[in-house]
Structure 1
């Protein structure tokens, strides 16, 4: 006749209320011995070892049966947690600043080159980037960008990594980098992401950039009021599609009127007329240094607000 869970528990309660300390001590010694035999892998194996420790004693067997399933559920949950921890997105944890177990954090390289990449064709070249970065590189994705954590070795290693990444991208994408020790990786991720936003919004050509390449843009757009005022200054130009496209082409051509006219397939005199109209709308002359810089930063501010 099969014993029910209720009757097993009743017998356990009866046993636990019986003052048989010697019997319990002997059983606990056998359990410890079973623990020395367990490999630590299979919960079923553990239940079998505990059953052997009961040595045919009905009361002790009842204890094993009553607690066996609970113990197996507990160990199953522990194994699931271990599997989850092993497969965690370490690069994602680093990018988001989530706390890491001490042993995981201690296994990180002392210093990393953080690279944020905006691919011209998303989904391509990711495997190639990992290959040229080295086998210890960590990769994740944030805000449509590829984020790489590349261990930084001795002097010049970061520069060599940037060179390899740039060659791999083949002039088709944007790369922003920052260096940080392992305790400040989130700060490096934020810096690289900021540089990438500024170069893309500023219509910079594809290539490799650091914060030193966008110091003016960063300083100007860092202040919220300044950023808002700049965006408001240039926003009326959005209502003139041709003028906006002309300014975009002019900035993209590094303020070369001849190059901008060729890229738009228009005559130089037509371009000059449109540049004067841009000044009428915005109050800034795109053909002088100060005006060109003001309009460029304003375009970045407007893009960041969008």
Structure 2
């Protein structure tokens, strides 16, 4: 711990007052110790929020984070409100390398974009200039991920930014819980999952159905790989380094435990929704 505290002090000398950069520096400082590295990963979101709140406070209580105020539904001072555009693209990003990727996102979003953080995720409000501009922005933002992380977006008029942020955050939770590959997503990509998990009783029943599978580590890993491979047996067998006959046996065992056949369309859809429901309750 003494060695890490010395590294932390050195980190403070390198920090440029961006929360993403500080978390990344601390993670690098802890890289030699798995326990400290895990602590930095777990505490990164909390550190983001504390630093954002401090930065928003500013001198004499004047808000310094207009994006945070918009995200929380608070009214902005008149001089700041006058500079808002009528419509925004709302982007929420879960990043694998927060320091580097957040800087890239900020550069792509442009000087007129507003940035803040929520629960360790980057939140951007990007002015929507006109038809098609949002789609072009999403493409450029997704490129900043470099195949690592997820981006969820929504578009809303200025008066409905909180609603748009809630939607984008819901999409992000679903794609992460659903083991979707890195990329950009909207509500249209998760309509089934969104509808299923919106009902609390359905969500609870689905989670209860699949929870017994957690006791079978190999079967859980097999189902996860099956979903991740888009239900392709060949891809799943290759990713797990097992024979197809072994995979077929495991898939039958998954049906025995859950009551759903993962090789049928309905069963696969139900099990995927159940995995998402269980992940959201964890």
Alignment RMSD (CA, Å): 1.4
- 1:61-210 mapped onto 2 (5 Å cutoff): 83-84=59-60, 88-210=64-186
Encode CA deviations 1:205-242: one digit per residue, 9 max, x unaligned: 11110001101000010000000000000000000011
Decide which moves more: 129-138 or 100-109. 100-109
The verdict on how the C-alpha distance between 1:253 and 1:83 changes in structure 2, with shifts beyond 3 A counting, is same
Work out which of the residue numbers 239, 243, 253 in structure 1 matches 2:215. Answer: 239
The verdict on how the C-alpha distance between 1:258 and 1:165 changes in structure 2, with shifts beyond 3 A counting, is same
Q: Report the TM-score when normalising by structure 2.
A: 0.77
SS at 1:148 equivalent: strand
Name the counterpart of 1:252. Answer: 228
Name the counterpart of 1:298. Answer: 274
The structural deviation recorded for 1:99 is 2.2
The verdict on how the C-alpha distance between 1:84 and 1:209 changes in structure 2, with shifts beyond 3 A counting, is farther
The structural deviation recorded for 1:88 is 1.6
SS at 2:179 equivalent: coil
SS at 2:147 equivalent: coil
Aligned residues of 2:113 and 2:125 also touching (Cα < 8 A)? yes
Paired with 2:191 and 2:152, the residues of 1 have a C-alpha distance of 13
Aligned length: 226
SS at 2:144 equivalent: helix
SS at 1:197 equivalent: helix
Paired with 1:159 and 1:92, the residues of 2 have a C-alpha distance of 24
Aligned residues of 2:58 and 2:64 also touching (Cα < 8 A)? no
Paired with 2:242 and 2:184, the residues of 1 have a C-alpha distance of 31
The structural deviation recorded for 1:87 is 5.2
SS at 1:236 equivalent: helix
The structural deviation recorded for 1:173 is 1.6
The structural deviation recorded for 1:125 is 1.2
Larger Rg: 1
List runs of 5+ in structure 2 lacking aligned partners: 1-56
List runs of 5+ in structure 1 lacking aligned partners: 1-80
The structural deviation recorded for 1:124 is 2.7
